[in-house]
A and B are shown apart, each in its own frame.
Chain A
């Protein structure tokens, strides 16, 4: 199974991207949290101001499963650290179970790191759930540092309801 290509996602890929997003969310036991639609992905990724970038991994038709040839993806965007400048943030990264162990994930990561270096990013950041030992090992083997453990960073969220309450208080 060395036969695969990586390419930039196109508008026609949104249905495959959403399918893979839901598969990854299911693995993370958060499937019911996915409220994004194909239309959102289309508007937000391929409009005048893209909120994300995406690369997909594709196998030839005869190697596909259930008719699907897009078997992996990575979604990323650019963020900013006022100390070191531009960063590449990896939001989602997933390869279908049947296609793992063939170097597809490693090649995606290599492609992303190329993009990061080419676009003058100092660093590539992402989050991983602490119970997801296979992923943490995968990243640490390749030189990633855990900033939550090493520096004490904790991720926080304020949801829409609380945001509106804050605005009303001002």
Chain B
């Protein structure tokens, strides 16, 4: 659901939107619940009596992992935060972020980092109200990536 929101903000989805989500349930299980998890996740659950129209009681989640800053040390990175539209404006998002803040401070993390798309005004406003600083605007940081063919090519290149 979050992927749909991030890729097509103003339109309804087409049938082929699933093509860019390659992670399967099997991988999520292996990567999050083995001895050496690559991510952690908190879910927001409502009672049966308040379930969604499709019958879901899990209505939101936050996925995070630990990172490392060579300046400050341990940090916590919030990769995904999402609450189903019908369950917003009830403080669930705020609780999920506060829970991450608690985990971060318990684990002696120096700060919480995350990325937001520049058009996502509701999220930008929410985070700024919580004291977030836009490091892309303030310090000029850009996120870069080597993926797919570029990554394989790099691995094969002669020195």
Instruction: List residues of chain A with CB under 8 Å of any chain B CB.
Output: 21, 24-25, 30, 33-36, 40, 44, 51-52, 75, 77-86, 89, 91-92, 103, 106-107, 109-110, 113-114, 116-117, 121-131, 136, 139, 142-149, 151-167, 169-170
Contact = CB atoms under 8 A, between A and B. Distances in A.
B70 A82 contact: no
B101 interface: yes
B38 A86 contact: yes
B71 A30 contact: yes
Q: Identify the interface centre among A80, A143, A160: most chain B CB within 10 Å of its CB.
A: A80
Main SS class of interface, B = mixed
Q: For the side of the interface on B, what is the size category?
A: 35 or more
Q: Identify the interface centre among B21, B102, B142: most chain A CB within 10 Å of its CB.
A: B142
A127 B104 CA distance: 22
B144 A91 contact: no
Contacts of A123: 145-148, 151
A42 to B, nearest CB: 12
Interface in B116-159: 116-119, 127, 130-137, 139-155, 157, 159
Nearest to B158: A110
A34 B70 contact: yes
